[in-house]
């Protein structure tokens, strides 16, 4: 895992509001001494940090630092070699992704995994899977309780469509949408799960400045209006510094910094490893 060169210092901060510190509550997620190995490769080494309820917690670092591996441990894709993760008082070192989702954790991925031939509405409905109570046969026949349930699920999805301002595209196949809107649909599908904690893996990768401003606004609105705790990986330092309450910094699978955006920006170890002298 080779780190890339440090990113250039941001030329201009995005025009988004800073997070409100008063909303942050008690610890909801506690990552304790997590290590992860793949054969002889150490992806993560003895990493600990916590996430407080209602905060926006950023994870940053060079490519290959272990950021996505960390998210994969949190949502059950990977099983840590050592250490434990505690979510709302429940401790686990191994749990399936579905079980973690049932606990209230949703995830988006850096590489989109949407159903390109399906409409925006139908893609968002797939995020309601865990909320479905009717059996598959009744769902397929759309009779009795299943029909009433489908109406309730569609109502929830329509609310998300309005929230993300994608009403004009609700019946459009996702594969026909611009990339920025596809990322918004991906966010919407995660929101359809009604998560207590939302993991975002580079939600603004590949976006232009305007699209980043829109996504930043939606992330802040999700955090404020829904009260959702958010953990995000992001390379754009202007975004991280604008919207995050706290930042944890990884480098070669080790934690080298943790604190407020200002404290991290002034951390000499972080500057040397990632931010560069001009920050």
The rounded mean pLDDT for the chain is 86
Using the predicted structure, report yes or no on whether residue 2 has a pLDDT greater than 70.
no
Note the pLDDT tens digit of each residue in 36-53: 999 989 999 999 999 999
pTM: 0.83
- Residue 152 host element (H or E): helix 145-163
- Cα separation, 171 vs 242, in Å, equals 34
Residue extents of the structural domains in the chain: 1-104+196-279, 117-194
Phi, psi for residue 258 in degrees, rounded to 5: -165, 125
> Comparing 6-15, 147-156, 267-276, which segment has the lowest mean pLDDT?
6-15
Q: What is the pLDDT of residue 278?
A: 46
Q: What is the pLDDT of residue 183?
A: 93
- Comparing 92 with 222, the larger pLDDT belongs to 222
**pLDDT for residue 150:** 75
d(CA 57, CA 201): 12
Is the pLDDT reported for residue 12 higher than 50? no
Domain 1-104+196-279 in CATH 3.40.50.300? The answer is yes
Phi-psi domain of 64 (left: phi exceeds 0; alpha: psi -120 through 50; beta: other)? left
Mean pLDDT in residue range 154-162: 93
Residue 135 has pLDDT above 90, yes or no: no
Asked if residue 277 has pLDDT above 70, the reply is no
- The average pLDDT across 57-81 equals 94
**Residue 20: is its pLDDT beyond 80?**
no
Q: End-to-end distance of the chain based on CA atoms, in angstroms?
A: 25
């Amino acid at each position: 895992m080779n780190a890339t060169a440090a990113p250039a210092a941001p030329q201009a901060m995005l025009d988004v509001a800073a997070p409100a510190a008063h909303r942050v509550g008690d610890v909801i997620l506690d990552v304790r001494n997590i290590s992860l190995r793949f054969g002889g490769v150490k992806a993560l080494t003895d990493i600990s940090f916590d996430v407080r309820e209602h905060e926006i917690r950023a994870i940053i670092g060079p490519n290959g630092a272990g950021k996505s591996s960390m998210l994969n441990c949190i949502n059950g894709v990977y099983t840590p070699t050592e250490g434990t993760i505690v979510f709302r008082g429940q401790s686990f070192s191994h749990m399936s992704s579905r079980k973690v989702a049932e606990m209230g954790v949703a995830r988006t991925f850096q590489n989109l995994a949407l159903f390109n031939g399906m409409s925006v509405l139908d893609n968002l409905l797939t995020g309601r899977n865990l909320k479905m109570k009717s059996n598959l046969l009744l769902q397929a026949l759309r009779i009795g309780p299943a029909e009433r349930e489908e109406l309730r699920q569609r109502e929830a999805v329509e609310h998300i469509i309005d929230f993300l301002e994608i009403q004009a595209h609700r019946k459009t196949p996702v594969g026909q949408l611009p990339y920025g809107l596809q990322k918004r649909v991906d966010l919407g599908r995660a929101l359809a799960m009604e998560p207590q904690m939302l993991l975002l893996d580079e939600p603004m990768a590949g976006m232009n400045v305007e699209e980043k401003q829109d996504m930043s606004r939606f992330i802040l609105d999700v955090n404020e209006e829904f009260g959702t705790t958010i953990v995000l990986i992001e390379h754009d330092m202007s975004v991280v510094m604008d919207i995050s309450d706290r930042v944890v910094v990884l480098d070669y699978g080790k934690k080298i910094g943790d604190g407020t955006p200002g404290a991290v920006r002034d951390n000499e170890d972080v500057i040397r490893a990632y931010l560069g002298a001009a920050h």
